[in-house]
Homo-oligomer: A and B are copies of this chain.
Amino acid sequence: MQFASDNAGPAHPAILEAIAKANDGHQRAYGSESAMDRVRARIREIFEAPQAEVHLVATGTAANALILGCMAKPWDAVFCSEHAHIEHDEGNAPEFYTGGAKLSLVPAPDGRITAAELDRVIGPVGARSFHNAQPGPISITQVTETGSVYALDQICAIGDLARARGQRLHMDGARFANAVAALGCSPADMTWRAGVDALSFGGTKNGCLGVEAAIFFDPALAADFALRRKRGGHLFSKHRFLSAQMEAYLAGDLWRDLARRANAACTKLVAGLLAHPEAEILHPAEANLVFVSLPRATLRRLIEAGADFYVMDGDPMTGDPAERLTARMVCDWSLGEERVARFLSLLG
């Protein structure tokens, strides 16, 4: 009953097999291996984007920070949700890779920023002078950090705003597959057709060991990517072990399949929680994670029975048993609906 993180789960066997298969004698290093050509072609196919530039790195923070480095100048502001992973959970990596750009936070009560709020925070066009941070890229997270999923028209509205202002749009897609599975839409519709210029396409949380793709729908933005990646120490010499993972991940729609499993488990979990008198769901839970408020006593009982999840706002083991705390529960591809059922039966 592991709900702590989709980062804590195992890799899918097909990914491991691909790595073993890639370990075949000497090969060209640093991304010039033939598997990388296949990965690039496959991503262009999936995204219906024949011009897209594609690069691989091993961590989501690296993907986000390197892409933002390509999009933002050091004197820019990057606009993102008040809950954004790039703001809270990347240890100032975006600031590091942009050379000191500022993150300007947009209120997002349910995890999603709106074009209107974004417009307000950026301020009137032309109002910023050289005293102020300049209007730089906008970054949205899909699936959001609170478990909600942007509808296509919400992304389009933000994309339209970005284009009208001459700003760029980045999507942090650490859980991109889960969003595609949730919306049942095409990857192209959720990205470049909606105005997204660059995407961090996650693999690690959804069954890989550690691989993320930086996908630039506007290839001009990627002009310096290879130099930035090397400078960041993120270029793998034995790069074939990254491309092998990504190739297997994309083969036969494994990536969508794993996301569907994770979402299905979460849907079952949410249904169970909704039916429980004590539980209060705090944000729309539309993909594979849910924030739920429960009394400390209940959380404690679940933990003692072997459940693992992250409590956001206090120690579940010590304190007033009636106090309500917020737990984040994440379902990864490997969890399975059975384990969810067991958990719900424990919850009672």
Report A's interface with B, CB cutoff 8 A. Answer: 2, 4-5, 7-11, 13, 16, 19-20, 23-30, 57-66, 73-76, 87-93, 95-103, 105, 130-134, 204-205, 209-210, 224, 226-228, 230-238, 241, 308, 332, 334
Q: How far is the CB of A126 from chain B (nearest CB, A)?
A: 11
Contacting residues, chain B, for A73 (C-beta < 8 A)? 224, 227
A-B CB contact pairs (8 Å), 25 listed: A2-B25, A9-B25, A58-B236, A59-B237, A60-B237, A61-B230, A66-B233, A75-B92, A75-B230, A75-B231, A91-B130, A91-B133, A91-B227, A91-B231, A95-B100, A95-B101, A96-B100, A96-B232, A100-B231, A131-B230, A204-B237, A210-B236, A210-B237, A210-B238, A232-B233
Contacting residues, chain B, for A204 (C-beta < 8 A)? 237-238
Known contacts A99-B99, A133-B92; A235 and B59 CB within 8 A of each other: yes
Known contacts A16-B20, A99-B74, A100-B100; A93 and B232 CB within 8 A of each other: yes
Let me know if B8 and A29 touch, CB within 8 A: yes
> Which of B23, B62, B92, B205 touches A102 (beta carbons < 8 Å)?
B92
Identical subunits present: 4
With A and B bound together, what is the CA distance between A236 and B26 in angstroms? 26
With A and B bound together, what is the CA distance between A238 and B8 in angstroms? 7
Other than A23-B209, A75-B92, give 10 A-B pairs with Cβ distance below 8 A. Answer: A5-B29, A7-B29, A25-B334, A59-B237, A61-B230, A74-B92, A74-B231, A105-B105, A134-B227, A205-B237
List 10 tightest A-B contacts by C-beta distance, closest first.
Answer: A62-B233, A91-B230, A95-B100, A7-B237, A2-B26, A61-B233, A75-B227, A91-B231, A89-B131, A130-B226
Q: Chain A at the B interface: mostly helix, strand, loop or mixed?
A: loop
Known contacts A8-B26, A29-B8, A95-B102; A90 and B236 CB within 8 A of each other: no
With A and B bound together, what is the CA distance between A5 and B28 in angstroms? 9
Let me know if B59 and A131 touch, CB within 8 A: no
Known contacts A59-B236, A241-B210; A100 and B99 CB within 8 A of each other: yes
Let me know if A74 and B61 touch, CB within 8 A: no
Contacting residues, chain B, for A60 (C-beta < 8 A)? 237
Known contacts A20-B16, A131-B89, A227-B134; A74 and B59 CB within 8 A of each other: no
Q: Of all chain B residues, which has the CB nearest A209?
A: B241
> Which of B8, B59, B93, B233 touches A90 (beta carbons < 8 Å)?
B233
Q: Of all chain B residues, which has the CB nearest A242?
A: B210
Q: How far is the CB of A75 from chain B (nearest CB, A)?
A: 4
With A and B bound together, what is the CA distance between A74 and B152 in angstroms? 37
> Which of B8, B23, B87, B235 touches A28 (beta carbons < 8 Å)?
B8
With A and B bound together, what is the CA distance between A2 and B24 in angstroms? 13
> Which of B23, B28, B58, B76 touches A16 (beta carbons < 8 Å)?
B23
> Which of B74, B89, B308 touches A96 (beta carbons < 8 Å)?
B74
Contacting residues, chain B, for A205 (C-beta < 8 A)? 237
Q: How far is the CB of A76 from chain B (nearest CB, A)?
A: 8
Known contacts A29-B8, A95-B95, A99-B99; A235 and B19 CB within 8 A of each other: no
Q: How far is the CB of A336 from chain B (nearest CB, A)?
A: 11
